[in-house]
Amino acid sequence: MNFNNQNPQNKQTKRTLLLIVLVVLCSSVFGFTGGYLANQSSSGVTINQVTGKASSKASKSDVSSVASKCGASVVEIKTEAVSSGDSMFGQYVSEGPARGVIISKDGYIVTNNHVIDNASSISVRTTDGKDYEAQLIGKDADSDLAVIKIKADNLTPATFGDSSKLEVGDVAIAIGNPLGELGGTVTEGIISALDRQIDVGGTTMTLLQTDASISPGNSGGGLFNADGNLIGIVNAKYSSNSTSSGSVEGIGFAIPINQTTDIIDQLISNGSVTNRPVLGVSLYDYTNNSNYYMGDNSDKETGVYIVQIVNGGAADIAGLKEGDRIVSVDGKEVSSSSEVKAAISKHKIGDKIQVKVNRDGKEKECTITLQGSTNN
């Protein structure tokens, strides 16, 4: 048989088969559900991220392999804070346990802002039992995120997942430090809800909800998917003391990981978030029991008021004034400063938004071009 004299149809068939083989090989490397990215941000820190949906719904028997993969990426954090208070002994030191997630081999760790806020010292213990003093790199109260760093090499960084692809019912695995004494505790559950609007410390945040057990000491820990990829940073939970409507359990929250990458980059580069859109105002939530003096309070409506305006800021340019009560943002009624901030957080610097205010009993609608913040 002469192999050099194949007819065109045979050649085309072989080319087609070769193309199919290449597609199968590529699919086995990258997976049908997404690709693998290693992004070096402007801060110089490389964060590994997998795009797309987790490949499977892990059963309970799979949790051990997930925990084995990502357990070394979660560290214990202990903080000390010096407080004056009213103690007869003067100043005293308080301690707080929490968790953090390693994001680079050379020691960058992400955790919650509320974990390290006001801390006079921060220490980290890795899963191999080694203790390190940590340096605060940057923090941001609005996102409840902070980055710290330890002097270490060859650590095991977490691989970021893709929180935009999550669905209710997807597996969620939390690794935490309950009570500050049970480091490395693994709990399994599901994603109970997406895009929950939750008030955390006076700031409205958009969070993932999970029924994976979350306990005191879990703050800053990782929430992982069925493939062991990081999908959230745990930061809040409801407990039996969190609501007046009765005892509740199995309601925990985490910051979606896709919301964190740009903030982490800015914290490492600048120590703060510098490109958040702002109105350029100070707001005050007025109620009938408020102590803040706002002129003749007898006819003052409850709501969110502008009490200070930055000269040359976005609100100033648009014509807003001190004493204006903000009625709505982008057509949605607001009654608190947290609701205003939540509405603005959905935009970018340079976006135009519609803000309706009540001034001396008359409503006025303004178009405001958002400016960027210059400090944390």
- Exposure string of 257-285, with b = 16+ CB inside 10 Å and e = fewer, is bbbbbebbbbbbbebbbeebbbbbbebeb
Provide the greatest CA pair distance for the chain: 104
The one catalytic residue in 192, 219, 328, 338 is: 219
Closest CA to 301 of 312, 286, 314, 323: 286
Pairing mode, strands 303-309 and 277-278: unpaired
**Active site includes 265?**
no
What whole-number distance in Å separates Cα of residue 79 and Cα of residue 93?
10
Closest CA to 180 of 276, 289, 79: 79
Residues ≥6 apart with Cβ < 8 Å to 23: none
**Active site includes 114?**
yes
The one catalytic residue in 140, 142, 144, 324 is: 144
Both structure tokens of 344 = 């603005």
DSSP output for 254-297:
EEEGGGTHHHHHHHHHHSS----EE-SEEEEEE-TT--S--S-G
The one catalytic residue in 114, 140, 162, 265 is: 114
**Active site includes 336?**
no
Closest CA to 127 of 50, 69, 49: 69
Both structure tokens of 236 = 């809040």
What whole-number distance in Å separates Cα of residue 75 and Cα of residue 99?
6
Q: Which residues are catalytic?
A: 114, 144, 219
